[in-house]
Amino acid sequence: MRTASPIALAEQYLVDDLPGATRPGTRLHGILVRINDGEALTEVSLAWLQKAGLAALYDLAIGMISPEEFRTRSADERSRRKITAKADAERERTLLAERAAYLEAASKANFEKMESDPVLRRRQEARDLRRKFGVGYVEPEHYPRVMTFIKRLDSGKRISPEDFAWVSSHAEYCLTGELQVAYHRIEAEALTLDWNETGDAWAAINASAHWRKANEPQQAVAITATSSAHARKSLPKIRSALMTTRGGALRDLKRFVEAKDLGLQAHNLTPDDYRPCTLLGAVSLQLGDLTSGHAWYCKAEARGAERFSVDQDIRAVLARVSKEERKQISAFLFSQDPERFKWLRGAGTGAQRS
C-alpha cells in the first residue's frame, strides 16, 4: 500500500497546524503513520497524545470514537490551537527580530570562531546523521543513547537485543523506517554469514526473518532455498520453521499460492505450532478466502499465539490490501465475532459505537 505523504496525513487527521505532524521522525508523525496503517499504539505513544492535548486523536487510536466523531472534535481542537498560535506567533516574530539584530551586529571574527568551534562542528555532524536516517527531534533524556544507536548502525555494527528493545520501547518515535531497515539488514547479513560458515539452520531461519524486515524478501527466499535443501533430514521443528519463514517471504512477493502450500506443509509437520497457522491466516485473507483466514487465526490463538500478535498480523494484512478488500475483511471478521474484533470498527466495518 502506498504510504501517504506527511502533509496529506496531517491534513487527514486535522493536525496540519502542528509542525511535528509533517516532519518525518517526530513522535506525532510516527503516531499518524501507525494509526493510518491500522497499527496499535504503544502505551508510551498513547500517554504522549494525552499529554499533548490531542484528545480526539487519542480516542480514535483506542477505538472509542468513530471517524466521523473524530473529525468534528478534532476540528474544534484545531480551531482552539490556531487562536493560541496567533498570539504565540506575535511573540515569535519579536524574538526573531531581536535575534536578527544580534546576528547582524556580530563581528566576522566571532562568526569564524563559531565555525571552527569543535562542539558546534560535532552538533552539525549529529544533525547530518539524524537527517540521513530520517530522525528528527530527540528528547534530551533519550539523546545520548539514541545517537549511540544511530552511530553504530551507520558504521555497520550490530546492535544488542537489549539496546534495540530499549529504543523500541522508550524512544520508538526515533525508530524510523530507515533505521529499522538498517538494523535488520545488518542482522540479516551477519546471520547469513553465520549460516554459510556453520550450516546452522536456525541462523538461516533468523536471517530470513531479518531479510524480510529489511524489505528484501527475495534474499529470504534465496537463503531458505539453500538451507531447506540441507535440512531435509532435520527435525520436523526446523523444517517447519524454514517452510514458515520461506512462506512468509513468498507472501511478501505476492506468491500467495506457493506460500499457502508451504504453510500447509509446515502445519502438517508441527500441528501444535501456531506460526504456520498465522501464515495461513494471512495468506487466506489475501487470497480472498475469509472464512479459512478467520479459522486459521483462531487455530493460531488456540495453539498459543497472543491475541495482540494476531491483531498486529491482521493489521499488517489490512495495510497491504486495497481499500475495498480492507472493508470486506474488516466487515467479515467483525461479523464473526463483534467483541473479539471490535477494534476493526474504525477500519471499514461501518459499525457504530453503542
Q: Report pLDDT digits (tens) over 30-49.
A: 898 889 888 888 888 999 99
Identity of the residue numbered 75? A
Q: Distance of CA 76 to CAs 13, 57, 218, Å? A: 12, 12, 48
Query: What pLDDT does residue 352 have?
Result: 34
Give the CA count within 13 Å in the CB-facing half-sphere of 310.
Answer: 27
Closest alpha carbon to 282 in 244, 327, 323, 251 = 251
Q: Please report, rounded to a whole number, the percentage of residues in the chain having pLDDT higher than 70.
A: 92
| Domain co-membership, 89 together with 139 | no
Residue 274 in domain: yes
When divided into structural domains, the chain yields a total of 3
Residue that is written with C-alpha cell 521443528 in the block: 237
| Domain co-membership, 245 together with 318 | yes
Residue 220 in domain: yes
What is the C-alpha separation between 64 and 46, in angstroms, rounded?
13
pLDDT per residue as tens digits for the range 169-188: 999 999 999 999 999 999 99
Residue 223 in domain: yes
Residue 353 in domain: no
| Domain co-membership, 214 together with 324 | yes
| Domain co-membership, 299 together with 267 | yes
Contact 35, 27 (CB under 8 A): no
Which of 61, 77, 105 terminates a domain? The answer is 105
Query: What pLDDT does residue 111 have?
Result: 54
Q: Distance of CA 325 to CAs 250, 329, 337, 342, Å? A: 20, 6, 19, 18
| Domain co-membership, 220 together with 98 | no
| Domain co-membership, 207 together with 337 | yes
| Domain co-membership, 126 together with 238 | no
| Domain co-membership, 28 together with 137 | no
Ranges of the chain with pLDDT below 70: 1-3, 103-116, 346-354
The enclosing domain of 237 has a CATH number of 1.25.40.10
| Domain co-membership, 93 together with 232 | no
pTM over cut 0.75: no
Query: What pLDDT does residue 305 have?
Result: 95
Query: What pLDDT does residue 350 have?
Result: 40
Full residue range of the structural domain in which residue 52 is found: 6-105
Which of 105, 130, 156 terminates a domain? The answer is 105
| Domain co-membership, 210 together with 335 | yes
What is the C-alpha separation between 266 and 219, in angstroms, rounded?
20
Reported residue count of the chain is 354
Residue 258 in domain: yes
What is the C-alpha separation between 174 and 170, in angstroms, rounded?
9
**Which grid cell sits at 204?**
538461516
Residue 183 in domain: no
Output the CA torsion 18→24→25→26 (10° steps).
Answer: 10
Contact 316, 335 (CB under 8 A): no
| Domain co-membership, 213 together with 312 | yes
Which of 83, 105, 127 terminates a domain? The answer is 105
Residue 1 in domain: no
Residue 112 in domain: no
| Domain co-membership, 162 together with 215 | no
